[in-house]
């Protein structure tokens, strides 16, 4: 009999089912990348992508601890997150929005300049 090859999303679903909730761990301490304590409801930032969110749940498997963020509904390794204040989360979102706006504006300017280079003074 031939074994079925699992797709990546199927593997992730199985992996998520195998993770144990933190509630069965008798209040085990979980720390961020700087050694700060992480608790449910804390605001954290993932260092890989600067994704920010509120910790909805803490999970663990054999030797890793994970935090589930409300902003993405994804699990992040606690060794790569940093606890932040709620004010930092809002300020970073505003700064990121401004940076995204500036980037789009520059892209539109470049597109307009390319298009205008093909137009003579008469507008033809």
Q: pTM of the entire structure?
A: 0.52
Q: How confident is the model at residue 115 (pLDDT cuts 50, 70, 90)?
A: confident
CB atoms within 10 A of CB 117: 7
Strand (E) or helix (H) holding 20: strand 20-21
CA 94 to CA 88: how far, in whole Å?
10
CA 56 to CA 53: how far, in whole Å?
9
What are phi and psi for residue 76, nearest 5 degrees?
-125, 135
Highest mean pLDDT among 14-18, 23-27, 84-88: 84-88
Report pLDDT digits (tens) over 21-52. Answer: 444 443 456 999 999 999 999 999 998 888 88
Kindly state the tokens that stand for 60: 């663990």
């Amino acid at each position: 009999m031939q074994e079925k090859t699992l797709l990546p999303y199927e593997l992730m679903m199985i992996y998520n089912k195998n993770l144990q909730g933190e509630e069965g761990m008798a209040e085990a301490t979980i720390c961020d990348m700087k050694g700060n304590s992480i608790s449910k409801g804390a605001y954290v930032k993932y260092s890989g992508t600067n994704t920010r969110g509120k910790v909805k749940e803490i999970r663990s498997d054999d030797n890793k601890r994970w935090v589930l963020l409300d902003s993405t509904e994804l699990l992040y390794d606690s060794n790569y997150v940093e606890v932040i204040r709620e004010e930092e989360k809002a300020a970073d979102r505003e700064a990121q929005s401004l940076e995204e706006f500036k980037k789009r504006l520059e892209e539109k300017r470049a597109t307009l300049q390319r298009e205008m280079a093909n137009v003579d003074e008469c507008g033809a």
